[in-house]
Structure 1
Amino acid sequence: MSGRLTTGITVLDRELGGGLPEGSIVALLADPASQSELFLYELSAVRGTLYLTTIRSGQAVNDAIARAPRSGSPTVRDVGGEAPLDAANKLVHDLPERSNLVVDVVDVLESTDPVRYRQFLNSLQTHMVNTGGIAVLHGMKGDAHANRRYTKHMSDVVFDLQTSIDGAEIENRLAVPKFRGGRALEETIKLRLSEAVTVDTSRDIA
C-alpha cells in the first residue's frame, strides 16, 4: 500500500486518513469566483512544487504566492502560449521524486485535441506513479469542456469545492466524491477561504 502525502491542510489530511496516496492525480474543481487557488499555495508549502500556469502570467502567480500567509517557493512556469500541451508535457517529464505538480487552470489543456489530451493524462499518471508525487489539476466549473470527463475519470481523487452566496454570507463546502486508495467522504467539509484555508466552525442554522 502506498504512503500518504500531506496536503498542507491539517483538517483535510485528517479527513482523508493522513493525506493523499503517493502517485495520485487530483482534480480540484471550483467556481471561478472562489479562492480555490489557496489550496494550491498551501500545497506548495509542504513539498517542492512545479506550478504550471495557463492563464495568469508567471509574475502574477509569484506575486499572489508571496502574499499568501501559508505557501512555499514553487517553480512557476507559464505554459499558456501557442502549444500549451506540448509545453506542459515537456516540463512534467522533468518532475523530481515525491514532488507536486500543479496545473492552474487545466481548462486550457482540456481545450486541446481529445486524443492528445488523453495521451497527456496517461503519461502524467505513469510519471506520478513512478515518482510518488502528487499532481493537482485545477479546473473551473461552469464552461462546458469536452475533455473534462477524461480529467475526472483519470483522477484518483476529486475535490469539488462548492461556493454559494446568500445575502452577506459566503459558504464554501468541500466534497470528495472520489478517492481511489482510500474512502470518499460521506459529508462535505465546511471551509473558510480568506487568507488561508481553515475550517468554518460556525454552526449551520436550519
Structure 2
Amino acid sequence: MAGRLQTGIDVLDRKLDGGLPPGCTVAYTAEPASQSELLLYQLTAARGTLYLSTERSDEDVRHSIDRSSATVGSPTIRHVTGQDPIEDAHRLISALPDGANLIIDTMDVLERTDVEGFRRFFSDLKTQMLETGSIAVLHCLESDRTPPNRSTTLHMADAVFDLETTVGATEIENYLTIPKFRAGGAPTERIKLELAEEVAIDTSRDIA
C-alpha cells in the first residue's frame, strides 16, 4: 500500500500490505522468556533507529544485536536512567529525526510511573511520531504483575502485536496475532513464526 513504511521483516510487510503507516505506534506484547527481542533487532535494519533500553545496559543491547544472525542495522542505543525515567525518555525521543524507528525495550519501567504523567508522555510520543513520520514499537512484557499503565498503552497504541509462545514436548512454537490495527487491513489469522536466526514464517506444519 502506498505511503507505508516497510518494517524490514518480510513476513510482516506482506501481511500488512507493505508495512506500517508513518506515525504508527505499536504495542508489542510477549512473554519474558520468549525470543521476542529478535523481532526488535531485525526492525533496526529498515531505517535509522533509536533504541531505548529501560532495563538492560546499552552495552548489553549492543552486544546482543551485534551477535544476532539476523539482518540488523546500527541503531543508536540509549539506556533510560535517572530518577525520572519518563523525563529521560521524553528528552531522548524529542531529538528523533524524520522517518526513523523508535524502539522502547521494555515499556514496563515507564508503565509503573504516575498515571497522569504517563498519559502525557504517551500523548507527546504519538505527536512526535506523527510530526516526524516515524514508527514506534513498544516492547510490553506479560507477567503476573501487570504494570498499572499497561491498559493505557494498549488503548492509545495504533496497533497491538501479540506474540504467543508455547513449549511442547519436542518443539517451541511462536504465533503472532494482530488484534488491533487502526490503519485497517490487519491479518485475521495467527501467523506462525520461526524465531531462530531471523524472523520468518514457520512452514514446518501450520502455514499462515
Same structural fold, with TM-score higher than 0.5 when normalized by the shorter chain: yes
The reply on whether 1:72 has 2:50 as its aligned counterpart is no
Q: Is the 8 A contact 2:15 2:186 kept in 1?
A: no
SS in 2 for 1:162: strand
SS in 1 for 2:77: strand
* Cα distance in 2 for residues equivalent to 1:80 and 1:137: 17
TM-score by length of 1: 0.96
Shift of 1:203: 1.1
* Cα distance in 2 for residues equivalent to 1:107 and 1:160: 16
Gaps of 5+ in 2: none
Partner of 2:157: 155
Partner of 2:12: 12
4+ residue runs of structure 1 moved beyond 3 angstroms?
Answer: none
Shift of 1:30: 0.3
Q: Is the 8 A contact 1:25 1:156 kept in 2?
A: yes
Q: Is the 8 A contact 1:45 1:73 kept in 2?
A: yes
Q: Letter of the aligned partner of 1:170 in structure 2? A: I
Q: Is the 8 A contact 1:53 1:80 kept in 2?
A: no
- Aligned Cα root-mean-square deviation (Å): 1.2
Q: Is the 8 A contact 1:80 1:108 kept in 2?
A: no
Shift of 1:171: 0.4
Partner of 2:111: 110
Gaps of 5+ in 1: none
Shift of 1:2: 7.5
Partner of 1:53: 53
* Cα distance in 2 for residues equivalent to 1:35 and 1:16: 22
Can you list the C-alpha shifts for 1:129-175, whole angstroms capped at 9, x where unaligned?
11100011101011311100110011111100000011121000000
SS in 1 for 2:12: helix
**Percentage of matched positions with identical amino acids:** 54
Q: How many residues get paired?
A: 204
Shift of 1:13: 0.4
The reply on whether 1:199 has 2:190 as its aligned counterpart is no
TM-score by length of 2: 0.95
* Cα distance in 2 for residues equivalent to 1:199 and 1:168: 19
The reply on whether 1:99 has 2:89 as its aligned counterpart is no
The reply on whether 1:135 has 2:156 as its aligned counterpart is no
Q: Is the 8 A contact 1:99 1:132 kept in 2?
A: yes
Q: Is the 8 A contact 1:2 1:22 kept in 2?
A: no
